Structure 1
Amino acid sequence: MGFMVGLTSPAAQLYIAECVEPKIRGILGSLTATLMALGILVTYVIGKFTECDVLAWIISSSSVFMLVGMYFCPESPSWLVYRKRMEEARRSICRLRGLSDTEDDEITKEIDRINEAVNNQEDVSVMKGLEQMAKSLKPLFLSLILMFFQQFSGINAIIFHAGTIFKASGSSIDNNISAIVVGAVQFVFTTAAMIIVDKSGRRILLLLSSVVMFFSLFPLGLFFYLKNNNFNVGNIQWIPLISIVGYMIGHSIGYNTIPFLIMSEIFPPSFRNIFSALSSSFNLFCLFLVVFFYSSMVDCINEEGVFWLYASICLISIPSVYYLLPETKGKSLEEVEKLFRNHSEKKTECVNSGFVNDSSV
């Protein structure tokens, strides 16, 4: 199952990015994270009332719907133009945009836009190709940073161990009910982020996400510090639920959706497949590390140490996003590529002329 999810996740994100118009790419690109949050919520709810084997049979049906649904979906216009299948690309654009064959100007304009980006990537030597890849490393680096912050903020450790965390806090609320509440909050606010991401922009949501997560995780760590040091926490046992709900709100409005959306936007066409695979693999590797070592970290530094560590990483993410990530809201994939390409060319010119100042870097 992990192997198949690893294959389909980046492909799904790229497919959406290549098919939709720039003005709604944020909404539809975030839809994958929204439906993932819905899947987690549905799993929590069904899992409360069924055994594991029954749960597995029920949720496996989603794969059948995907198999049937993808049969009726067209190939993306970018993929078809890149392979010189122009007539199929025209039909794909007509279907995706709701255009008729008579609206030839709109179709031609979009194909020309895609073709220009494709031509910029073609007819290069091996050395030129390596040079282009080197210039494309900044988008890859940015994507890896976002994937790191997404996972090492502790999201999947909290999702997978929600019941254990509530039980350790001594809360009187049923563990399964608490997990369902957390899943519901994640779904609602991921949906809200999906709606506003094209209006507010990517950077501001990531920054807000980091701030909210920090101020949610810090009191959670403080609660466990007091509890583990024999302070009376009987009157504040509501803190873990409120903190985790606040944390889920913070994660949902930014880091739950935007890293994969950014990944699908900033990679150049020539390296989009391999860079997306690398970025997604790195994300899953970080997920593995966070979940696998959660229990061991709790044994070593207690719950408060783990949650304060996650809070520290959220704090570090704020200047990283502010200074490194450009805003991609409303830009076509070709405009985003040109943004990074122009930046690299400008930096190269400064180096060749004998100096590099702060503004050029």
Structure 2
Amino acid sequence: MIFISGTLSSSFQLMLCCGILYTYAFGAVASYYSIAIACTILPLIFVAVFFRAPETPVYLLKKGLRSQAEMSLKTLRGSQYNTTRELHSLQNELTKQSQGQTSFAKALNRREAKYALIISLGMMVFQQFSGINIVIFYSSKIFDAAGSTLKAELCTILVGLAQVVSTLVSMVLIDRAGRKILLQVSATSMSICLLVLGYYFMKKDRGDDVSSMGMVPVAAVIIYILLFAIGFGPIPWMMSGEVLPADIKGVCTGIAVSLNWTLAFLVTFSFQMLTSTLGNSGTYFLFAGICACGLLFSTFVVIETKGKSLQEIQDELAGKA
């Protein structure tokens, strides 16, 4: 499981991208109210299907329901799967955790816990401050403002499709190439694309003739999306699960996710204010600079977790490896 953890963890980002593409495609041909209804149908389907999902074996073992935990494992692994060894391993891990249980504040005082939390929160910060939600939510306005020759609706569908395709590519690469290199490529490429976008709007806003550059913003946005989705899209989500120690993982993952969506709201909410204050070009140059900082963070702070067990990761964070 260690060697496919990246692929499995990337499925979260893939579902996000599929949802965005679904909304873009439906929004191109339907009214606002129809989109709302269409987006309501999917959660209802999910609720109906999820009733058949098994409870997690770890939760059942915590509750002392060993026979139900065995049934859950067989549902997840297959009816012919021998659950004895895995159940024994899970039970030993839970026993070890309960014996070494300590307060959250004390657990967070360990070097590896602090380092892991810095990585988790830092990744969420740079994911949102890369400007991804601005590009997604305002893509049609970006293309309209740029004077693109393609219809804004078609451009946004291309953006959504680029996200899905590149996330699929990321799922293949992430357990082969590693996390750090994908983050570094992602941050570098996003910074360049935003610089190109900023340069285009700088020329346009000062009255230069940009009629021959109509495809530049479209290409910059699509490449930006492609490279975001192979690195800073999926990897921050999986990093929390990979680097955080087991005894603080639940609380710290909640903190990281809350920070992510809070920043998503703040960045999206402030976009209009930023463009009014800094102009279109200044706004994109600002986010390009933040992506460059994300490159430095990925290079000097984030550790490589590819193919490593949780214990090996914790030893490296603690400075023992």
Residue 303 of structure 1 deviates from its aligned partner by: 0.9
How do 1:1-361 residues align onto structure 2 when only pairs under 5 Å count? 21-100=1-80, 103=82, 107-124=83-100, 130-135=105-110, 136-331=113-308, 335-337=309-311, 339-340=313-314, 343-344=317-318, 346=320
Q: Give the TM-score of the pair, scaled to structure 1.
A: 0.83
Q: Distance in 1 between matches of 2:75 and 2:6?
A: 20
SS of 2:97 mapped into structure 1 = coil
Gaps of 5+ in 1: 1-20, 347-359
2:296 is paired with a residue whose SS is helix
Question: How many angstroms does 1:138 deviate by?
Answer: 2.2
Distance apart, 1:126 and its partner CA: 5.1
Q: 1:16 is matched with which residue?
A: none
Deviation at 1:222, TM superposition (A): 0.5
1:275 partner SS: helix
* CA positional deviation for 1:25: 2.1
CA positional deviation for 1:209: 0.8
> What RMSD over aligned residues (CA atoms) do the two structures have, in Å?
2.0
Q: What's the % identity of the aligned pairs?
A: 28
Is the 8 Å Cα contact of residues 115 and 317 (structure 2) preserved in structure 1?
no
Of stretches 217-226 and 269-278 in structure 1, the one that deviates more from structure 2 is 269-278
CA gap 1:266/1:117 in 2 versus in 1, 3 angstroms: farther
Per the TM alignment, residue 341 of structure 1 is displaced from its structure 2 partner at its CA by 5.3
Structure 1 residues 198 and 79: alpha-carbon distance in aligned structure 2, compared to 1, 3 A threshold: farther
Q: TM-score, normalised by structure 2?
A: 0.93
CA distance in 2 between counterparts of 1:339 and 1:119 reads 21
Instruction: Look up the SS of the partner of 1:198 in the other structure.
Output: coil
| SS of residue matched to 1:60 | helix
- Over 3 Å counting, the alpha-carbon distance change for 1:79 and 1:203 in structure 2 is farther
Change (3 A) 1:55 1:338: same
Q: How many residues align?
A: 319
